[in-house]
């Protein structure tokens, strides 16, 4: 064999090796992004469930649940009142209108049956509600308090992922970690939108 054939074979083998390494590197990045998207989807779903539970708790108790035990107890044993609102508008003299609003309590339904029924969440488990998916058992950070805004006290809550899987969310001490609510504003929105 002459030098040209030997070099051709060596370069061919090196090219195949480099091609494989390039493909493997791209494939690993794509698989990591898929895994991150799947885990974040599960976290977002859980944060939405927790927001619904906090909103129902506030509607029933006038404030947000202050800890996991209160929220779990409410989900398990609490009730949501069904209220019917009717408005009656009466035309007065000179074209003025008078509106009367009446509220009628029709009954109640358990929180578990209303918000977390098997049809809506078939795999719902109250005991793992506070656990971040794919985190090895870490719990969401939980905050609920009252803050003062324009001489008014408002209720706020924040539930946050303590250790994001996504490297972009880990920047600046987990500043962009998935969360719902806010410690400083009367917001119940999530930061994933």
> Does 105 fall in a domain?
no
> Does 50 fall in a domain?
yes
Q: What is the pLDDT of residue 37?
A: 85
Domain count, the chain: 1
List the domain range (segments joined by +) for residue 47. Answer: 34-77+116-181
Query: Which stretches of the chain drop beneath a pLDDT of 50?
Result: none
> Does 192 fall in a domain?
no
Q: What is the pLDDT of residue 111?
A: 84
> Does 41 fall in a domain?
yes
User: Of 155, 156, 178, 157, which is closest to residue 166 (Cα–Cα)?
Assistant: 178
> Does 56 fall in a domain?
yes
The upper half-sphere exposure of residue 181, i.e. CA atoms within 13 Å in the direction of its Cβ, equals: 27
> Does 39 fall in a domain?
yes
Q: What is the pLDDT of residue 26?
A: 84
Residue 98: exposure state from Cβ atoms within 10 A (0-12, 13-18, ≥19): exposed
Q: What is the pLDDT of residue 33?
A: 85
Q: What is the pLDDT of residue 108?
A: 83
Q: Please state the pTM of the whole predicted model.
A: 0.76
> Does 12 fall in a domain?
no
């Amino acid at each position: 064999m002459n030098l040209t054939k030997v070099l051709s074979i060596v370069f061919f083998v090196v090219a195949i090796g480099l091609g494989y390494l390039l493909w493997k590197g791209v494939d690993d990045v794509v698989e990591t992004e898929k895994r991150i998207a799947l885990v974040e989807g599960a976290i977002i779903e859980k944060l939405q469930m927790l927001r619904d539970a906090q909103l129902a708790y506030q509607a029933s108790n006038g404030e947000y649940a202050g800890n996991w035990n209160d929220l779990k107890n409410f989900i398990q044993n609490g009730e949501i009142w069904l209220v019917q609102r009717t408005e009656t508008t009466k035309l007065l003299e000179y074209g003025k209108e008078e509106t009367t609003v009446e509220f009628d309590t029709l009954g109640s339904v358990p929180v578990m049956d209303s918000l977390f029924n098997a049809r809506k969440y078939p795999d719902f488990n109250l005991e793992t509600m506070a656990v971040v998916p794919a985190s090895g058992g870490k719990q969401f950070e939980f905050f609920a308090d009252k803050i003062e805004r324009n001489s008014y006290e408002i209720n706020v809550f924040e539930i946050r992922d303590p250790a994001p899987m996504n490297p972009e969310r880990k920047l600046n001490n987990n500043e962009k970690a998935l969360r719902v609510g806010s410690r400083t504003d009367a917001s119940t929105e999530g930061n994933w939108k």
